[in-house]
């Protein structure tokens, strides 16, 4: 949990109040659903399967316990979770010792996409969270297949300034705890 981040925070999109708050273990189902609601994520195995619940629960607990990480959820007026993202503060030597804020796993429910929630959430990240956390650079990666997402981030002022690389490490299957 990033202690310096003031949450919950109330946002508005189209007059509708939204609450951004830290995720708790009670949000596990909603986060799993949001991940599986995305075709690219689903294609990588995020299917919200009961078989994967323990792995997701461990990951959520690890992120919540890490002082450099937070997972936030966005709840609508009825309390239903309609969005999520992960924030990671990365201390750095480059840029004169500046820290950067990494944004990962941005998801908005398909039932409310294109309603302004994603833009409102990302403006909260750049205008409020990054300022509170004193991170002059906000960065994210987006799968090359997500051309709509690329246009979305560009409209918000993000610049596609770097080329990212990933390497999949073949690890043995985890043993059940």
At 16 the pLDDT is 87
Q: Which pLDDT tens digit goes with each residue over 46-64?
A: 888 898 999 999 999 999 9
Cα-flanking dihedrals φ and ψ of residue 94, to 5°? -70, 165
Q: What is the rounded CA–CA span in Å between residue 73 and residue 34?
A: 10
CATH topology of domain 9-155: Aminopeptidase (3.40.630)
Q: CA-based Rg of the chain, rounded to a whole angstrom?
A: 16
* Virtual torsion, Cα 25, 48, 86, 19, nearest 10 deg: -60
- Does residue 177 surpass a pLDDT of 70? no
- Phi/psi for 122 (5° steps) reads -70, -35
Long-range contacts of the stretch 6-15 (C-beta < 8 A, 24+):
6/132, 7/70, 7/72, 9/124, 9/128, 11/74, 11/120, 11/121, 11/124, 12/120, 13/115, 13/116, 13/117, 13/119, 13/120, 14/115, 14/116
| Average pLDDT of the residues of the chain | 93
> What is the pLDDT, as a whole number, of residue 38?
84
Residue spans per domain, the chain: 9-155
Residue 174 has pLDDT above 80, yes or no: no
Residue 10 has pLDDT above 90, yes or no: yes
Query: What is the distance between the alpha carbons of residues 109 and 35, in angstroms, rounded to a whole number?
Result: 9
Q: What is the mean pLDDT of residues 106-117?
A: 92
Q: Rounded mean pLDDT of 74-103?
A: 95
9-13 β-sheet, strand order = 9-13, 16-22, 69-75, 81-90, 100-108, 137-140
pTM assigned to the model: 0.91
């Amino acid at each position: 949990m990033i202690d310096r981040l003031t949450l919950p925070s109330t946002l508005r999109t189209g007059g509708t109040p939204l609450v951004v708050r830290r995720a708790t273990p009670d949000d596990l189902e909603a986060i799993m659903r949001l991940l599986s609601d995305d075709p690219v994520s689903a294609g990588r195995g995020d299917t919200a399967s009961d078989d994967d619940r323990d792995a997701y629960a461990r990951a959520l607990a690890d992120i919540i316990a890490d002082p450099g990480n937070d997972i936030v959820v966005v709840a609508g007026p009825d309390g239903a979770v309609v969005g999520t993202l992960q924030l990671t503060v990365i201390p750095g030597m480059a840029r004169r010792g500046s820290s950067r804020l990494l944004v990962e796993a941005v998801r908005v429910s398909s039932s409310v996409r294109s309603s302004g929630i994603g833009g409102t959430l990302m403006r909260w990240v750049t205008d409020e969270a990054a300022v509170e956390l004193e991170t002059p650079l906000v960065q994210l990666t987006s799968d090359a297949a997500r051309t709509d997402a690329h246009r979305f981030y560009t409209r918000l002022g993000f610049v596609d300034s770097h080329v990212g690389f990933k390497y999949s490490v073949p690890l043995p299957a985890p043993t059940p705890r």
